Amino acid sequence: MQVQVARIGKPHGIRGEVTVELFTDAPEERFVRGVIFNTQEHGELTVNQARWNKDTLLLGFAEVPDRNRAEELRGTKLFIETADVEDETEEGWYEHELVGLEVRLAGRKIGVVSALRVMPVQDLLVVTTDDGEEVLVPFVDEIVPEVDPEQGFVLVTPPDGLFELNRESQDGAAD
């Protein structure tokens, strides 16, 4: 399974470096010399340089010799094969493992996971309820104590009012 780990931003300098928007918790492990990323538009890209400029990761690729070529890559998504990097001891979930799982509260189905939003402070499960509403659920152990992809469900124990609060804010936004 292919998983997006970054998106290429604007060029940096004249030697073909680019900025990247990260979608991984482990950039120091993913972006090292010799790593090959798959792209949909430009084939494979091989990292030949990775460095930080303040809070921005800059990458250089063997296939990108100059700024003109780097500009062509703007918006390109970088993918890795999950089978190449999965570690059984590592905790965490990829979005493709969660989407479609039934969401259960007190033993009854209340919806399905429709997306995972990776945020700086904590991740959020996007739950589409059985009545079609979209609810954001903090993806933390206290609120999502069990994830069982083999059985096809996640168990939620939300604080009182979480689902109603989300609905009220959506209703209020429509006014």
107: CATH:
2.30.30.240
Last residue of a domain, one of 66, 85, 104: 85
Round to whole Å and give the CA distance between 56 and 10: 11
90 within some domain = no
Number of compact structural domains in the chain: 2
Q: What pLDDT, in 10s, does the model give residues 15-67?
A: 999 999 988 878 888 899 999 999 998 999 999 999 999 889 999 999 999 99
User: Does pLDDT of 89 surpass 50?
Assistant: no
Round to whole Å and give the CA distance between 78 and 35: 11
Last residue of a domain, one of 61, 85, 109: 85
Round to whole Å and give the CA distance between 116 and 138: 10
Q: Which pLDDT value is given to residue 171?
A: 52
Residues 130 and 74 in one domain: no
- Name every residue whose Cβ is closer than 8 Å to that of residue 111 and which is 6 or more positions away in sequence: 102, 103, 127, 128, 129, 130, 135
Q: Which pLDDT value is given to residue 162?
A: 81
Q: Which pLDDT value is given to residue 175?
A: 45
Over residues 94-117, the mean pLDDT reads: 90
Residues 56 and 113 in one domain: no
Report the candidate in 5, 69, 14 with the shortest Cα–Cα distance to residue 37.
Answer: 5
42 within some domain = yes
User: Does pLDDT of 85 surpass 70?
Assistant: no
Residue with tokens 């100059």: 66
Please state the φ and ψ torsions of residue 84, each to the nearest 5 degrees.
-75, -20
49 within some domain = yes
77 within some domain = yes
Q: Which two tokens stand for residue 32?
A: 């090292």
Domain of 113, in residue numbers: 95-174
Last residue of a domain, one of 59, 85, 111: 85
User: Does pLDDT of 169 surpass 60?
Assistant: no
Model pTM score: 0.56
Report the candidate in 46, 50, 26 with the shortest Cα–Cα distance to residue 36.
Answer: 46
Report which residue type is found at 107. Answer: G
| Residue 87 DSSP code | -
